[in-house]
Structures are given as structure tokens and as C-alpha cells.
Structure 1
Amino acid sequence: MARLHTVTGERFGYLNAGSGLHAPTWPEAFGLMLGALLDDAARWGTPVPDADVRAALARHTDALAEVTTPVLVHGDLWAGNLFVEPTTGELVGVIDTERSLWGDPLYELVGADQMGTRTAPATVLDGYASAGGAFALDTVAGRTRLQLYRLYLSLVLVIEIAPRAYTGDWIGPHRATAERLVRGALDVLLGR
């Protein structure tokens, strides 16, 4: 993660220039991304707390504005997307870059633990620091952004069920967990 986050870009938002989900500032780009996600929810008939999500974003734009350098963020760096050489433990490959963007390094922590609520395992934070990286977890704005990213990715997990036509017994518990994470993030962000 720390090495990846040394790569910087010229704008914030998704890598695909054709998506239109990019802007010169992180608050603008994140707002476009969140707005597109809420539009997808409406298009696919997925109920989400749209007004609360928009209120949380409006309330915390200043926290997002603290991010001034767009860094490369994978957005889905969990163990299943990493190839490791079994005898040496060396990382030899990374897959599944569909959620990659130019943004805040903190976004990576939520992508690495999409169905959880913890900040990150101490080993991840220690490894990141030993490689020269630093997360803004010791600031109110940093913790707020982490909740915004938890909200965003949890909404993705709820909304993508319909267009991806997911099926199986796992859908009910998956949806329930993602919806719980949405509510939990909103409770923190809206001071409930």
C-alpha cells in the first residue's frame, strides 16, 4: 500500500477518464462518485437512505478538502486479490483493479476490510509505516473520512447486487451486513 500510494495523479476520482467521475479536488470527485452511486440505486430500485447520505457528505466536505494530492488507491486490497509467492512470502501480483482511483490513501483501509468496521490490523498499519507511509488516523478529519469511505463502499456492496444479478444463499446475510455498515457510518457522520 505504501509503495502504491507514492504514485500521484493530476486529478481525483476514478481512473477511467470516460466515466466523468473525476475532478480537480477530492470533495468534488468524491461527491460525483457518491452521486453516481445514488443514481445507480434509484435506477436499479435499490432502497438506500439517499437524503441522509447527501446530508453526511455536505456536513463533512471540509474533512475531504484536507486531501490535496491525488494518490493511486487500489480500493480492493484484501487477501483474495493478492498473489504471494508461497515459499518467500513475496507479493508477486495484484488483481481486481475495477475500484482503483486517484484519491485519499485512507480509502484503501476500507477497501481492504469491506465487510468490517475496524480501522486496520496493527500489522497493516505497522507495515505501512515501516515502508514510509502515514495515514491520518490520529485526526478528527481522518477518522471522519474513513467513515465516509465506509459509507461509500458499503453502499456499493448493497447497490451492486441488482445489476450484477447476484444469487445464492449468501445474498441475504451479505445485504444485511452491508446495510448495517451503511447505518453505522451514517450514525457516526450525522451524530446520531
Structure 2
Amino acid sequence: MPEPSYTAYRQAGEADAPIVMAFHGTGGDETQFIDLVRQINPRAGLVAPRGDVSEGGALRFFRRTGEGIYDMADLAKRTQRMAAFIAATRDSHPGRPIQALGYSNGANILAAVMFEKPWLFERVALLHPLIPWTPPAQPALDGLRVFVSAGRHDPICPPALTDALIEWLHTQGTAVEPLITNGGHDVSQPELDALQRFLQRPEA
């Protein structure tokens, strides 16, 4: 099956290093996390797709009808499309771990794929996700390493929803590593430091 078409930034990296897949936030693009990934692991490969939904000119990965109000039918369709893209990326790099990070809207599409097909990833980092629904139980999440960061004063992602996501991940058996700061929606330096440790940590 041909790989689903996304405009994407690609960097091969070294053959024995992970592939990092990076998903930008609303208004970002495929270049948003190039420097960050290079800083975290200069040897890693990078695949960063560009969101294919425009909201007033701002790129996103799925439609919404208001702040925190998702078009769930559109999200379901685009989750399947992104899952196929990630699976094709994985198939193109046999034997290389897939580490994925997403911020805001990018974290939301990444989480939606992870809820359905967690076996596509070795590690997942969700920066300021907003998941306003309760996913069905997913036994295949057991043991997956997941990093979740958020700000207690984030005006976009209510802390109660972040707490609910973290609790849900715990109940699925993930090795979840939460970091809640006193910041807002911007990613803070403590989050970046923790993300670097999360992605660089050797396998047990």
C-alpha cells in the first residue's frame, strides 16, 4: 500500500539510532521541532509531517468547531490516515525504534493514534495535550513509555483534563511520566529538560 501523502521534513539519521516523529502545534509546521530533536539526539532520524487542515491559515492535523470542541468524525478519519503514515514510516526503517513527540494539536493527533495502535511506538511524549473524551480501554498500552507535560495555568488545556488523561494512562498500565509545571501553554525549559531525559534514557 502506498504511504499516505503528507508534506514532511525527513532526516535519515544514523542507522542504529531511533526515528523521532515530531508533530507540530496549531500554526506550526514540519520545521517546528528540527532544532529540538537535533539537540536531544543528533544521531536520530526525524520524520515531521505537516498538518493538512487549515484553520484561518493556521495548520492543524484535524478540524474543530471551537476551542476544545473537536469534529470527532474528522478526527477519527485523520487518526486512521496518520496511523497509516506512521506505520509506513516504521516499515521504512526496520529495526529502528519509533519515538514520537507532539505539542498541543500535534500531541492530540499523536495521542489519538496511540490510543488505537500503541504498538507503532517505543516511546511517546505528549506536550500539553487536550483530550476531551475518555478513550476505550486499550490493553496493548501496557508497558509503553509515555511522557505527559502540562501547565497548571494553561488557558487552553484545563488541568482537570490533563489529570484525567494521566490517570487513564495509569489504568492502562503505561509507564507514564507526568510533569506538571506552574506555567501556561508554552513549553517551558523544565519540560524540555525532562523530555530530553525521557527520550535519551536507555532501555531497562
Please identify which structure carries the higher strand content: 2
TM range (shorter): 0.3 to 0.5
Larger radius of gyration: 1
TM-score, L = length of structure 1:
0.34
> Which structure has more RCO (C-alpha within 8 Å, separation ≥ 6)?
1
| TM-score, L = length of structure 2 | 0.32
